[in-house]
């Protein structure tokens, strides 16, 4: 359905996990934005809002289905189970890529300023194929969240994983880029670090991030650390070379200490202090274990990649509901036909 009309078809892709509280508030906001952009002549009237239900355990999917029945601009797909935010966004983008010209991925909790979409689309008109939404300030975050998030970007950079500073997953991507992105077949995905690898002309748009409108965050510290670690190990093998470097440094220190011990022994000075020796042993043991752990992570990831399991499985689509009902309703007739 990709067509080079003057006005691009936009699909807003929204991952949703247990969002029954916030979805009824934000869904009309997304639709309004779609209409305003269409009225301004920036996008086609055939644009859509696509919700991706990431295996929610609450009423999220029922709400999405209800919205789709209410207004044809709302669409929904349902993942067969919870696979996490990154896989949900990927499922939505892959679903959308051959049905539209541009996509904008955004969280469903109303934290990201929808008005930034105007500027994103402007940037697309100016020739950018990827537009990264970048948070201008983090006033609404707690000190702890701000500190951990900013340290995360700095650490990523030091460890060789280039990402756009303060950019999460609020982003415009053209279907042309998505078609190339589909060739990145890895199972461990970290979208914000992978899109810059695709290339093409890109730009940034800054926006202010507000508080969640309702419900609570699904990213506690444990998940944030897992995301950071996944990001680093997915994008870079620099930690492994750093471990090798550390190994060389510590071996050299060991060698120097050994020479020193021999010299002291020859000079007749008894070496005092078991405690300090034990400290060094423990320290080195610890460093070795951490290093093995990091290398183990890479080996484990290679194992997961080798299996080539699907990254998402879509179990339902709102626009296939009628078809499903029709099949169910006509099951008896078809069985009769087959028997004859």
Q: Does 60 bind Mg ion (CB under 5 A)?
A: no
| Spatial distance between the Cα atoms of 201 and 199, rounded to a whole number of angstroms | 7
Inter-residue contact 284 to 250 (CB < 8 Å): yes
> For residue 8, what are the contacts with CB-CB under 8 A and spacing of at least 6?
43, 44, 100, 101, 102, 121, 124
Which one of ligand UDP, Mg ion, none interacts with residue 88, CB within 5 to 8 A by kind? ligand UDP
Q: How far is the CB of 141 from ligand UDP (least distance, A)?
A: 9
Q: Which is nearer to Mg ion, 109 or 169 (by Cβ)?
A: 109
Beta carbon nearer to ligand UDP, 145 or 238: 145
Q: Does 116 bind ligand UDP (CB under 6 A)?
A: no
75 vs 108 by CB, closer to ligand UDP: 108
What mask, x for binding ligand UDP by CB under 6 A, covers residues 180 to 209? ------------------------------
Tell me the number of residues near ligand UDP by CB under 6 A.
16
Q: Is the dihedral of CA 95, 181, 171, 123 positive or negative?
A: negative
Which C-beta is closer to ligand UDP: that of 77 or that of 235? 77
Pick the piece of the chain touching Mg ion (CB under 5 A) from 96-104, 111-119, 173-181, 311-319: 111-119
Q: Shortest gap between Cβ of 111 and Mg ion (angstroms)? A: 5
**Of the listed pieces 12-20, 68-76, 92-100, 273-281, which binds ligand UDP according to CB under 6 A?**
12-20
**DSSP for residue 112:** B
Q: Which stretch binds ligand UDP (CB under 6 A): 188-196, 213-221, 284-292, 324-332?
A: 213-221
231 binds, among Mg ion, ligand UDP, none (CB under 5 to 8 A by kind): none
Using CB under 5 A as the binding criterion, the count of chain residues that bind Mg ion stands at 3
Which element (helix H / strand E) includes 115?
Answer: none
Where do runs of H (alpha helix) occur along the chain? Answer: 23-39, 60-70, 85-96, 116-125, 143-158, 175-181, 191-198, 221-235, 238-266, 274-307, 321-329, 331-339
Q: Which residues, 6+ apart, have CB-to-CB distance to 232 below 8 Å?
A: 155, 156, 159, 160, 161, 239
**Minimum distance from residue 193 beta carbon to ligand UDP (Å):** 16
- Cα 212 from Cα 17, distance rounded (Å): 14
Residue 46 or 53: which CB sits closer to ligand UDP? 53
Nearer to ligand UDP, 86 or 202 (CB): 86
For residue 157 the two structure tokens come to: 């950079």
Question: Using the rule CB under 5 A, which residue among 19, 101, 109, 129 binds Mg ion?
Answer: 109
82 binds, among Mg ion, ligand UDP, none (CB under 5 to 8 A by kind): ligand UDP
Cβ atoms of residues 32 and 131 within 8 Å: no
Rg (CA), the chain: 26
Interface with ligand UDP (CB under 6 A), residue from 9, 10, 12, 19:
19
Nearest distance in Å: CB 164, ligand UDP? 16
Q: Which of residues 59-88 bind ligand UDP (CB under 6 A)?
A: 82, 84-85, 88
Q: What are phi and psi of 273, to 5 degrees?
A: 95, 80
CB 79 within 8 A of CB 314: yes
Under the criterion CB under 5 A, does residue 111 sit at the interface with Mg ion?
yes
* Stretch 90-109 residues interacting with ligand UDP (CB under 6 A): 107-109
Task: Answer yes or no: are the C-beta atoms of 205 and 119 closer than 8 Å.
Answer: yes
Of 175, 194, 176, the C-alpha closest to 186 is 194
């Amino acid at each position: 359905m990709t067509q080079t009309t003057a006005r691009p078809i936009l699909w807003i892709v929204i991952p949703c996990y247990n969002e029954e509280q916030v979805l009824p508030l934000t869904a009309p906001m997304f639709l309004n934005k779609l209409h305003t952009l269409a009225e301004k002549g920036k996008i086609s009237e055939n644009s859509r809002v696509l919700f991706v239900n990431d295996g929610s355990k609450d009423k999220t999917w029922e709400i999405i289905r209800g919205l789709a029945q209410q207004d044809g601009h709302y669409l929904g797909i349902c993942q067969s189970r919870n696979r996490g935010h990154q896989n949900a966004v990927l499922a939505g983008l892959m679903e959308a890529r051959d049905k539209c010209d541009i996509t904008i991925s955004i969280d469903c909790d109303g934290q990201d300023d929808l008005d930034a979409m105007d500027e994103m689309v402007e940037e697309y008109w100016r020739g950018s194929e990827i537009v990264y939404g970048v948070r201008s300030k983090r006033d609404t975050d707690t000190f702890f969240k701000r500190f951990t998030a900013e340290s995360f970007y700095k650490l990523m950079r030091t460890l060789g994983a280039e990402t756009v500073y303060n950019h999460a997953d609020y982003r415009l991507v053209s279907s042309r880029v998505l078609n190339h992105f589909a060739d990145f077949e890895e199972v461990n995905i970290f979208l914000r670090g992978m899109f810059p690898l695709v290339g093409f002309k890109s730009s940034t748009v800054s926006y202010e991030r507000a508080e969640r409108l309702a419900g609570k965050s699904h990213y506690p510290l444990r998940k944030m650390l897992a995301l950071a670690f996944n990001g680093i190990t997915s994008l870079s093998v620099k930690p492994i070379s750093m471990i090798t470097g550390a190994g060389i440094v510590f071996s050299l220190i060991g060698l120097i200490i050994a020479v020193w011990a021999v010299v002291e022994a020859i000079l007749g000075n008894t070496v005092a202090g078991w405690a300090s020796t034990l400290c060094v042993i423990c320290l080195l043991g610890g460093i070795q274990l951490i290093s093995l752990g990091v290398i183990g992570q890479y080996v484990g990831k290679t194992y997961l990649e080798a299996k080539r399991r699907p990254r998402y499985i879509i179990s339902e689509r709102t626009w296939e509901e009628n078809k499903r009902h029709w099949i169910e309703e006509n099951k008896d007739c078809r069985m009769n036909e087959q028997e004859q």
